[in-house]
Chain A
């Protein structure tokens, strides 16, 4: 095992896959000479050259569309969008094309494309650089959606995404890039999509945390144990499409309570979707309404004070978990 930062783990995943497969290449705004806005592509230009690590103009829809076309014609492009907010400029190519083409052409064309994009708040980047659009992409049939929270998962999921024959929206969290974690050394194995990780076992309440919120959920679980004597089971779904609903349902059937934590907006969010699924499929096991912890229903404010108030923290998760236990103890 080696201790790596998330950004290094992601870079290693790309470098290893590029060494392994000539058809893999990277393109995006400032990914080459500048080494990436968040330095995730650092060193790739030096090793692989301009043919395989390509700086693009600021043309999001066309960059993604070129990725679609290149993927249809035998390559495995990795397109980096500088933030998830910029992906909205490319939504036509992501939804109407990348996701639809395999189906509307009846499998004659495949789109093995990875679209990487960092999102999330915490750096005072304000209302156009800080959002969480997991729920937006989750809705689209034809896409796969990954949202890793640890360097090891980041590396293994990105490798899986690159090898997958389907288009993948790969969501990274800006404030996780610097976090360290143990990563298997050498060419690690890809992780299968649709396998959740149980980060912590517990009997009293299930907490599902998405992306950075998986870490927040773990901290909340520690607090629940030490201060309230509550055993929380923490699940990181790691991919939202496909979703490992079986693991989540098994946990809920055991604990009879569920809290879902995400950084995105509440309306039509990941939590809203998951709460419905749990209610539909494990209603008889529930002892309390499913609780959601989400980001505030606003555009991410710049002020540090307001921004932190708009993002979920351990306290919010603890309080939601305790709400599911009200009257039970």
Chain B
């Protein structure tokens, strides 16, 4: 087993993981309360893979992930309250309420986004790396994706180009054993995903994704190869999400015992225990970390609650970069009057009234939101609501 780093680093690793855990638990709760909408993909159980990776990245390095990236942004330094506000669809969210849970982004922290299309982030990652190389910068792009994405055409195309052009990129497969509800054995002919890019000239290794120190070591090596030798590699981290694929997941594809077995290997509990046993951290510090996480997340919810809803007049903002022909690009041709967009005074009264009428449909009874996966299946009043507190 790899040695523990210094006490300050251990404290920081534990604090980040605990913060992500607490954030995700609360996000799940807020989803129950219908404060967050859509699909909600939680990374509870995967904290060591996330924090182990970001903890050895340099500030200038770029990170790009999937639709399960609340934790990745937080690990990169994005304020949890801004991620929570995005889940709430509020103006202070990381994308001002335009992206939602699956599309967190923070340019300042070089977190280049969560992406809702499985495998869609792979070519973009290669492009980010190409630009760093082109500009003669030292930055490495870290591309994280799930086991399911290794089956997409983008995987093969991107691996080939990354190796062919010797890009400063590092690939990390977050193998949580299931592509949604389909297990690796049932979705990939090659179940050793670290070998899956070998035919493209990219070698790989495997690591225990529940062990934050092991992840750090594996990622450090990959970053160095990418930075110094322009050699892309794959690291397959075995991890596990305790919750369902999304909050709308009935989890019929796995046994309760399997989940419990993985929970015994909990990345936060095991790391905290190890730090205490090694005398690097005291019980008091472990408690401190938990209390701090509680407080930050509580404040994040308050912040998200208080943040305003997006103004209807801002609907078109961000669609096009403004040019001297300000607003021109965003003409919406819907009847009865074209919505000129971008600038409020250009939106005709009729269009504004229609927007108001549409937005009225956003009002729902407090705490009530149909499960998007089963909406309409049941009779009025008996329809299953989003997952229960304890698990799904």
Contacts and interface: CB of A to CB of B under 8 A. Distances in A.
Contact of B117 (A69, A77, A96, A166): A96
Given A74-B131, A108-B107, A141-B319, A57 B160 contact: yes
A62 B319 contact: no
B128 A106 contact: no
Of A66, A74, A193, A280, most B-chain CB atoms within 10 Å: A66
A71 interface: yes
Interface residues of B, number: 52
A30 to B, nearest CB: 15
A82 interface: no
Contact of A73 (B94, B98, B131): B131
A70 B120 contact: no
A273 B158 CA distance: 37
B372 interface: no
A294 B132 CA distance: 45
Contacts of A179: none
A192 interface: yes
Contact of B120 (A51, A75, A93, A102): A93
B354 interface: no
Contacts of B256: none
Interface string B161-182: 1001100000000000000000
Size category, A interface: 35 or more
A308 B123 CA distance: 39
A100 to B, nearest CB: 9
Given A59-B157, A92-B117, A105-B99, A65 B335 contact: no
Contact of A192 (B112, B124, B127, B325): B325
B131 to A, nearest CB: 4
A69 B168 CA distance: 13
A72 B129 CA distance: 11
B112 A65 contact: no
B333 A70 contact: no
Interface string B61-98: 01000000000000000000000000000000011101
B106 A194 contact: no
A101 B127 CA distance: 14
Interface in A37-81: 51, 54, 56-57, 59, 61-75, 77
A165 B323 contact: yes
A212 interface: no
Given A74-B131, A102-B318, A242-B328, A69 B105 contact: no
A112 B321 CA distance: 9
B95 A277 contact: no
Given A62-B157, A194-B328, A103 B318 contact: yes
Interface string B324-355: 01001111010110100000000000000000
B321 A109 contact: no
Which 6 A-B pairs give the minimum distances between C-beta atoms?
Answer: A69-B127, A65-B123, A73-B131, A165-B321, A66-B127, A62-B157
Interface of B: 62, 94-96, 98-99, 103, 105-107, 112-113, 115-117, 120, 122-132, 134-135, 153-154, 157-158, 160-161, 164-165, 317-321, 323, 325, 328-331, 333, 335-336, 338
Interface of A: 25, 51, 54, 56-57, 59, 61-75, 77, 92-93, 96-97, 101-110, 112, 141-142, 144, 164-166, 192-194, 241-242, 245, 273, 277, 280-281
17 contacts: A51-B134, A61-B157, A62-B157, A63-B123, A64-B123, A66-B127, A66-B130, A69-B124, A73-B62, A73-B128, A73-B131, A74-B131, A93-B123, A102-B321, A103-B98, A144-B320, A165-B323
Given A65-B127, A66-B130, A69-B127, 19 more contacts: A57-B160, A65-B124, A69-B129, A70-B134, A72-B128, A75-B134, A93-B123, A101-B113, A104-B103, A105-B105, A106-B94, A106-B98, A106-B105, A106-B317, A109-B105, A109-B113, A144-B320, A242-B331, A277-B333
